[in-house]
Amino acid sequence: MTYKPRYIALGSRLKGVPEIITLGVRPNFLDYSPAERESIFKAPLILYPTRNYAQFLTTLGKGIFPSLETCLYSDEKIKQTTLFYMAGISHPRTRVYFPLHHTDIVKDFRFPFVAKLPRSSSRGRGVFMIRGPEDLASYLSLTKVAYIQEYLPHEQDLRVILINYRPALAYWRIRQDGNFRTNLSQGGKIDFDHIPSEGLDMACRAARKCRLNDVGMDLIHHQGTWYVIEANMKYGRKGLQMKGLDLKQIIREKLLSGELL
């Protein structure tokens, strides 16, 4: 069987879109058949290559979506923090501590502060409010590398979903009483009203500077300044669904219009 040079996806996010053949992510490149390998090399764009193949395809000059940076910085809080600082993006004061320097945490931060697991802390899991020494000890028992961030008091944060650097949707996430986290999985609620243009502009600038073109940017407005908290490449779909938006259709339209090429 000879594949026509249609659009090819490796990851499953666009499975079912008629113009796209989804091959799946194989652990070994030679697990793809000769015809499938030919289709990968002939396709004008490889969609959702995942971290497994994004670097290799980019090295070989193949166009991919989302960008290499989007794949590499996914679920990498430490790297994201370094990137934000180097790019001059406002970000809460954050430091990383290895075991030999855990005792420096209380010298550098006053209680309360936020501690996160550097990886696997999506949907609010792995994010902790540290109110005293006992909380800190409990957190440090979970990870050798401590990711410590100042706490900026807030009732809500702004989630901006950007596809190819353009906002597809923005909404407030309002925290539930008694929970400092605004994540929907932690009881947070969505509000689509009064979305500030300054927040949207900040999210767009940050995404472009960091080359993150399929991302949910989380921002907080605190004492007159917009801060980017983190970039979520595995952002939830609930907000989109509430607005009657289909992510597959959004990306399909951008693909067919040539915007992603």
Domain boundaries, the chain: 7-65, 93-150, 156-256
Topology adopted by domain 93-150: Dna Ligase; domain 1 (3.30.1490)
Nearest alpha carbon to residue 171 among 249, 90, 75, 235: 235
For 26-46, the pLDDT digits (tens) are 999 999 999 999 999 999 999
Does residue 243 come out as left (phi exceeding 0), alpha (psi in the -120 to 50 range) or beta? alpha
Residue 175 has pLDDT above 90, yes or no: no
pLDDT of residue 121: 62
For 108-150, the pLDDT digits (tens) are 999 999 999 998 666 567 899 999 999 999 999 999 999 999 9
Tokens of 159: 């989630």
pLDDT of residue 191: 93
Give percent above pLDDT 70 in the chain: 93
User: What is the pLDDT averaged over residues 163-183?
Assistant: 86
Q: Which residue has the higher pLDDT, 189 or 220?
A: 220
pLDDT of residue 122: 61
pLDDT of residue 181: 73
| Separation of alpha carbons 180 and 241, rounded Å | 25
| Separation of alpha carbons 202 and 37, rounded Å | 40
Please tell us whether the domain made up of 156-256 is placed in CATH 3.30.470.20: yes
Q: Which residues contact 101 (CB under 8 A, 6 or more apart)?
A: none
For 59-102, the pLDDT digits (tens) are 999 999 999 999 999 999 999 999 999 999 999 999 999 999 99
The single-letter code of the amino acid at 143 is T
Indicate the pairing of strand 113-116 with strand 94-97. unpaired
DSSP assigned state of 186: G
Q: In what order do the strands lie in the sheet with 127-130?
A: 94-97, 146-150, 113-116, 127-130
Residue 4 has pLDDT above 80, yes or no: no
Q: In what order do the strands lie in the sheet with 225-232?
A: 189-191, 166-174, 156-163, 214-222, 225-232
pLDDT of residue 187: 67
